[in-house]
Amino acid sequence: MSENNHNLRHYQQLFDLSGQHALVIGAGSGIGAAAAHGLAAHGAHVLCADLREDVAQATAVSISEQGGTAASAAVDITDRASIDAAMTSLPQLDTLVCTPSINVRKPFLDLTADEFDKVVGINLKGSFIAMQEAGKRMQAQSSGSIVLFSSIRSQVVEPGQSIYAATKAGTLQMVRGLASELGSKGVRVNAIAPGVVETPLTRPIRDQPDWYNAYAQKGALGRWAQPSEMVGMVIYLASDASSFVTGTLMVVDGGWLAVDGRFTPPL
């Protein structure tokens, strides 16, 4: 990029994703569905992937009905073959957005080995597999952006969140490690840390008014986020607007980390 490239058209096109191909894993609902719509709105061809192909297809159909370009695929984030098949179906992979996570809210001393393995297997190992497969392809083409979803729990923890938080901190460190290895190849790797977002994962909290309201008041903005409010950061990290951004955690938390205090949830 030119040192003094102050061309207005250049700046107008910073967020243009026309001609790019993006894979969104977890596109069937929540943040993944919103991200898929956002990428398509900015011109990308989006492959909507989810464990359930019917919900992935519903997202792709919604995008297509609104004039975007999308397809769908069934992808199990813990299955390397299914991720490989999805990526291979694209002529190139410009952006990977990976959102799937699960949580088991229990006191640390009550967690079972099976619960530990399940959370780590999806949140951490699944992210590892997706990052590896995307990294190989992007390294070969000398370009690409990998966007993983970490969490504010990579930075702060509350009772009952130990293993989930560990996987989100681990995801962030994998992002930093891969970014350090692939930067010279033109590949950028970043993580997004949402605060509290109204998604299927957080429904158990939203069903308890005291807990829901306590979380809403924890952040500086005094409310929960909608999945659509994560889209701006996804587009930024997928686009040339973030051409010098890699290996970092982009916090989208409504000021949660800036405000002191803690709510102890019922466990």
Q: Give me the active site residues, please.
A: 164
Helix (H, G, I), strand (E, B) or coil at 47: strand
Look up residue 195 and give its DSSP letter.
-
Q: Let me know: does 194 contact 149? Beta carbons within 8 Å.
A: yes
Positive or negative torsion for Cα 62, 64, 69, 73: positive
Backbone angles phi, psi at 191, to 5 degrees: -125, 145
**Which of 78, 40, 72, 37 lies closest to 56 in space, CA to CA?**
72
Provide φ and ψ at 20, rounded to 5°. Answer: -90, 155
What is the rounded CA–CA span in Å between residue 38 and residue 52?
21
List Cα–Cα distances, 120 to 48, 115, 184, 201, 251, in angstroms.
24, 9, 30, 16, 22
Cα gap 159→32, rounded to integer Å: 27
- E-strand ranges in the chain read 21-25, 45-50, 69-74, 95-98, 144-149, 187-194, 249-252
CA nearest neighbour of 63 among 48, 77, 76, 74: 48
